[in-house]
Amino acid sequence: MSSEQPKHGKHAGRDTSSGDGGPERIQKLLARAGVGSRREIEGWMSQGRLMVNGQPVAPGQKATVDDRFELDGKRLEVSSAAELVRRVLIYNKPEGEVTSRKDPEGRPTVFDRLPRLKEQRWVSIGRLDINTTGLVLFTTDGELANRLMHPSNEIDREYAVRVFGEVDDAMIERLLEGVLLDDGMAKFTDVSPAGGSGMNRWFHVTLLEGRNREVRRLWESQGVRVSRLKRVRYGPIFLPSRLTLGKWEELDQKGVDALSRAVGLPPVAIPAKTPNEKAAHDRQRRKSPGLRNKKPKAGRWDVSDAAPDRSERQRPSGKGRTSRKPR
């Protein structure tokens, strides 16, 4: 069997690139365990918050899953890093949910509706602000999440956006060339008309990073306002039209392998669920979310995610570009 093919059998799900279980950099090990992103973990290290076997972490230090990790005095569970399970969920986020595990204001989070895991935990791949809807990816593999979010890998994100205000060709050209925002230069790699008329027009926009509220801030820098925003693609993965708001589904092997290839990771076979796990996940996917399952007012969730009209304007976006597939 080629090293590029998924493994199957007793050890399906083991990371073929993680070596023999010997010491590795702490931020990589903890990211794979899903306790945080590499950037977060490096911050904990520099602030002296992370301890290994009772001692502060030194720069470049390595460790194994057999070591004892503590963050602010609380034990971190890292056993899941010993054998990698790479699973991915796609979720259609409604408005009003925050993309964090816990919210100090008590608002609902995207994690509230996800299936429960016994030995792993879901890590969100990127964020959406509370007023943005659409595609959020989750994985049990912290390394996959880190690579998909890291700017150096240039994984493109596509959004359907409704803009209120006058939009002309000169404005679109500025957004493609680059605009200076508070946190540096930013730009879209593609802007394509997607319907509407007058002061309310739809566009599909693509960018290669995920800074806070970047799509909204880019349009607002031109004196127009974003009235609706929905993420419809992350790298090679599209939000399927069958997935209604607040619902999730698990990616199949083909989809997970596509994400892995996009960031240079070897494929890993998805472990089969036991009958009890499958039944529990099916029940959770179908069940009502309770008070949060109120029906929105008519038209509230109407967002244009149809393919943009590339006959009017088309601009190649370079590295990271993924052609749109028919829906």
Instruction: Give the strand pairing for 133-139 and 225-234.
Output: parallel
Helices assigned H by DSSP within 150-269:
169-177, 214-220, 253-262
**Active-site residue (options: 129, 183, 252, 282):** 129
Structural Rg of the chain based on CA atoms: 21
Q: Which residues of 57-69 are buried (b: 16+ CB within 10 A; e: fewer)?
A: beeebebebeeeb
Beta bridge partners of 214: none
Report the SS3 class of residue 183: coil
- Residue 237 to residue 21: CA distance in whole angstroms: 31
Residue 66 falls in the annotated catalytic set: no
Distances (CA, A) of 119 to 77, 130, 277, 289: 9, 29, 13, 24
Say which residues have a Cβ less than 8 Å from residue 115's Cβ, sequence separation at least 6. Answer: 89, 248, 280, 281, 284, 285
Q: For residue 237, give both structure tokens.
A: 């993965």
- C-alpha 28 chain-centroid distance: 18
Q: Which is it for the CA torsion 164, 166, 168, 173, positive or negative?
A: negative
Which one-letter amino acid corresponds to residue 58? Answer: A
Instruction: Give the strand pairing for 50-52 and 69-71.
Output: antiparallel
- Residue 240 to residue 248: CA distance in whole angstroms: 10
Q: Which are the catalytic amino acids?
A: 129
